[in-house]
Chains A and B, each alone.
Chain A
């Protein structure tokens, strides 16, 4: 198999999906998007959260918020099954489940004044479902904040150059926003100035590392998250995410160009390694007795490994949280909601899985690409990878697989132009660029997650308005509402825990193995809510209504089975600390799962009876 053929197939599938499945079916026949219907950004404009945005700016925001490390790390871990099975899941899940899930959550929110998908559930499943759903999401967002605070702090502490770039990126974004919005400078000129400053910033960051210990970064980033989540979206969020989109396009564009430059370099990896892998593939901590279990069956466990690249519950919270409040026109939702999801799939398939499939067996890759074993070995050594020990891509850790595969493919492609003698330099440069692309979205997720937690908090306490308007004003004040989630996230990220059989780990990581399951369960529940909304509110009937119902049912069965297997087979083999943290979270999630599916069926029957 040649990469160029795979590239053509993947792009063809995505193009067909966008125009046939997205535009012709979902946009025109299911939701019947209307550009003349006012959106909440306009109707409820407040200059803080409800602010209309250009669709390309919003696309950048939405993608940067939903991406994080998810579309990269998950598929990189899933290579344990081979390259074909993860690719199939990314393509299938991305189009038929993930894009439907994100798009419907966004449109449903737009039609309900910009409230979250959790609050929309009260229209179709009752108020009980709404409050359960909101509390569940708020707790999940605390976990997201803890994980991202910890990951970002650990990255900045261990790679100080990435900290310098993050610190520079923020003022450049602010400057861009002020130039365009306040000084009236043309967007193109503002973009050129900002990108030039960013290029200078990258060079500066390469020369000047910024060092600070982990604990100090946790506090600084928690303060950042608290402040940024309360600031108006036009001030920081929109300009920063607009600039983020350029990094994204360069990153994905390079992944598209590389196979064109090396069209005849064959894939060196096995399509399928096995349908069953070790439990570490589904997030079980290495070194624990559970990690040795051959329990990671491709189905139904794959959603626990590959999240954002195919589907993720967090997306529905973003789509019906920050994004739906900034949408200028219903027609923009296709590019922003559906298009961003396909772009995530493109990142997973073209920037992670395809490069890994090309370079999988290093010696075969050196031969196929005609670069010579010595050239490849010296390039790997320059990146502190021992070629005598590391023979293939699976010998590397998850993110290392991505940096290395992306860097090697780019180096092989561009050395066709700049000469094989530059291979090592090209490899190191593109490897660093891949690492920066990954970390550039971390701060975005950090403040978006806190803003979303604020929305969930405000919606959860809406009942206090009737009890005491002044109390409601205090509780839902945007600074007060931004404080609790990030404070709890910092408490989980800051300390370490030591226990026999576990060693020393960050406090949040005791619960984190359960996050993948709870996140995907959230996706299933959000898609069930959207399906019910399509059926009972939009009153869509016939074959076209199955576009939402079939993926919703398939996803719910898959995730429920995966969680049940996790609870029955994995949890008993985990150390007590993990049983207490992750195990109890999965058990609570399954209980909620059963309760919410009961409310869904009841809502569906009620909708059918009233039809």
Chain B
């Protein structure tokens, strides 16, 4: 396995585990992901309101559920993992283009 594909396989495995834990396990055991009782990560100054009348910017704290964050990270990693793993153009598409153009890809 090439290094790129190995990284892709590892990222895919990590993403699947994250989704299985935070979406499936937490979701099925608690009935929701990121519900009221879930643990939150507090981000100070994450909400930004620009007050045009006073010419000032107001910021407020935003609480992001930890499990939802894991789902979001798994979702994004799953976009990248299989692409790195399987990333070449499909053979069927290559063959179609080769047949149409007569050139070898």
Contacts and interface: CB of A to CB of B under 8 A. Distances in A.
B10 interface: no
A497 B49 contact: yes
Contacts of B51: 498-499
Given A223-B76, A224-B76, A212 B50 contact: no
A275 interface: no
Contacts of A211: 32-35, 65, 68
Contacts of A500: 53
A395 B93 CA distance: 52
A290 B70 CA distance: 45
A407 B78 CA distance: 35
Interface stretch (A85-93, A117-125, A228-236): A228-236
A207 B30 CA distance: 10
A178 B52 contact: no
Contacts of B105: 45
A52 B62 contact: no
B42 to A, nearest CB: 11
A164 B33 contact: yes
Nearest to A171: B78
Contacts of A228: 79
Nearest to B54: A498
Contacts of B93: 47, 51-52, 181, 234
A488 interface: no
A215 B62 contact: yes
Contacts of A209: 32-33, 35
Contact of B50 (A207, A231, A507): A507
A183 to B, nearest CB: 9
Given A43-B101, A208-B33, A209-B33, A498 B52 contact: yes
B100 interface: yes
Nearest to B15: A171
Contact of B68 (A210, A227, A232): A210
A51 B89 CA distance: 9
A505 B19 CA distance: 34
Contacts of A171: 19, 75, 78
A236 B48 contact: no
A577 interface: yes
A294 B103 CA distance: 63
Nearest to A212: B68
A38 interface: yes
A27 B89 CA distance: 32
B78 to A, nearest CB: 6
Contacts of B31: 207-208
A167 B15 CA distance: 12
A215 B46 contact: yes
Given A211-B34, A498-B53, A234 B89 contact: yes
Interface in A209-228: 209-213, 215-216, 220, 223-224, 227-228
Contacts of B89: 47, 51, 232, 234
A234 B93 CA distance: 9
Interface string A561-583: 00000000000000001000000
A227 B80 contact: yes
A184 B91 CA distance: 10
B52 A497 contact: yes
A498 B65 CA distance: 27
A227 B100 contact: no
B64 interface: yes
A172 B28 CA distance: 19
Contacts of B88: 47
A171 to B, nearest CB: 6
Interface in B47-105: 47-53, 62-65, 68-69, 71-72, 75-76, 78-80, 82-83, 86-90, 92-93, 96-97, 100-101, 105
A497 B55 CA distance: 11
A408 B21 CA distance: 39
A496 interface: yes
A547 interface: no
A210 B78 CA distance: 17
B94 to A, nearest CB: 8
Interface in A466-506: 494-500, 504
Given A235-B83, A494-B48, A204 B100 contact: no
A333 B87 CA distance: 29
A45 B97 CA distance: 7
Interface string A42-60: 1101010001100000000
Nearest to A161: B32
Contacts of B69: 212, 216
13 contacts: A42-B97, A47-B88, A160-B34, A171-B19, A184-B92, A211-B34, A216-B68, A216-B69, A216-B72, A232-B83, A232-B89, A495-B50, A498-B52
Given A42-B101, A184-B92, A209-B33, 18 more contacts: A42-B96, A43-B101, A47-B93, A52-B97, A164-B27, A171-B78, A208-B31, A210-B68, A211-B65, A212-B65, A213-B62, A224-B75, A224-B79, A235-B82, A496-B50, A497-B49, A498-B51, A507-B50
**Nearest 5 CB-CB pairs, A to B?**
A47-B89, A211-B34, A208-B27, A181-B90, A499-B52
